[in-house]
Amino acid sequence: SQEADKPHRRKGEKKYSCDECRKNFTRAQHLKTHQLIHSGIKAYSCDLCGKSFSRAPYLKAHQLIHSGVKPYNCDLCGKSFTRPQHLKTHQLLHRGIKAYSCDLCGKSFSRAQYLKAHQLIHSAVKPYNCELCGKFFTQPGSLKTHQLIHSGIKPYSCELCGKSFTWAKTLKTHQLIHSGITAYSCDLCGKSFIQAEHLKTHQLIHSGIKPYSCELCGKSFTQPGGLKRHQLVHIGVKAYSCDQCGKAFAHSTYLQRHQVTHSGSKAYSCDFCGKTFHRIESRNVHLRSHTGHNVYFCDQCGKLFTRDVQLQQHIFTHNEERPYKCDLCDKTFKSPRYLRRHQKIHTRK
């Protein structure tokens, strides 16, 4: 029969192949839709932002971003998403599944595309460069995010202080300052931080580890940012200029420090002789002439100490949290030193 003469096609067989990329499809219509990617035709445009898409469903999915509607919620953390696939991908984080591992460093990822993007770091290939400053990036998304800096557009504003930010995530981080929540405390000195990464960075100070070294002079730093700022000294780049005298500086902080000299303000005074200074560092150097040794000061109240250990103990007094608890009577303390002193009461009984 004619039906018997037809070639038998197994269910799910991908017999339609793309000539451009060799990707296979089960249906001719799927191949046709896919080929629009290679043609570059994007006939569906968003009225709000002008972004174009090759298919109507892609435009429809994109428009949810502007609507603010996020109907798909994570039961575990409450985070919302515009598309079910995004929720599904997010849920892998809670399940701890990271099936894609890097052969070079062993780092694991929950999705194949995250691994692929990560592997570019090892290749050192950075094909996307900024036309304005020449900086290179491994991914187009990173370049796009970077270019917002040059545009000067800061669409995300803080309702409490009016400060504006280029990215929503930066605003979110900033808002923690107003909340007053410092949930991450250092076990060694009691200093508290808004974010876990800030605590992690701070703890390097206590470890004494400075893994980032300058190849030109050998100076070491605890953070890559510190090394990067230092390297500007060797390059000779001084992008920050004083409006009043034209003097240029490598860092904005140096410029700010210098501008105090024009203001005539001398806010830092010597407790011994009353001499005033523009900078707190200058005041502290001057104090050596009276004390004969280095001095340490508290950033929060200005109190001076002859030893660093005394300053570290004093810092606990500014911390409102009492994370150190006595196992015998449940009384809490701001520092481990106060806890140890208290525990002697129980041992004497």
pLDDT digits (tens, 9 = 90+) for 127-139: 888 888 888 888 8
Query: What's the token pair of residue 341?
Result: 């002193």
pTM of the model: 0.33
The pLDDT value given to residue 1: 45
Mean model confidence pLDDT for the chain: 79
Question: DSSP per residue over 264-325, as a string?
Answer: T---EE-TTT--EESSHHHHHHHHHHHHSS--EE-TTT--EESSHHHHHHHHGGG-----EE
Q: Please name the residue that has the structure tokens 């770091």.
A: 121
The pLDDT value given to residue 343: 80
Instruction: Look at 8-22, 24-38, 158-172, 331-345 and tell me which has the smallest mean pLDDT.
Output: 8-22
Strand partners, 100: 109
Most confident of 69-78, 186-195, 293-302: 69-78
- Across 57-85, average pLDDT: 83
The pLDDT value given to residue 230: 82
Residues 6+ apart with CB under 8 A from 130: 136, 137, 143, 146, 147, 150
Higher model confidence: residue 239 or residue 158? Answer: 158
Q: Do the Cβ atoms of 192 and 185 come closer than 8 Å?
A: yes
Higher model confidence: residue 8 or residue 253? Answer: 253
The pLDDT value given to residue 299: 66
Most confident of 172-176, 243-247, 262-266, 269-273: 243-247
The pLDDT value given to residue 189: 73
Strand partners, 296: 305
The pLDDT value given to residue 146: 84
| In the predicted structure, residue 46 carries a pLDDT above the cut 50 | yes
| In the predicted structure, residue 149 carries a pLDDT above the cut 70 | yes
- Across 307-316, average pLDDT: 74
- Across 3-27, average pLDDT: 71
Annotation: CATH topology of 266-318:
Double Stranded RNA Binding Domain (3.30.160)
Architecture of the domain whose range is 16-79: 2-Layer Sandwich (3.30)
Percent of the chain with pLDDT over 90: 0
Every domain of the chain and the residues it spans: 16-79, 266-318
- Across 271-284, average pLDDT: 78
Instruction: Look at 55-59, 249-253, 304-308 and tell me which has the smallest mean pLDDT.
Output: 304-308
- Across 305-315, average pLDDT: 74
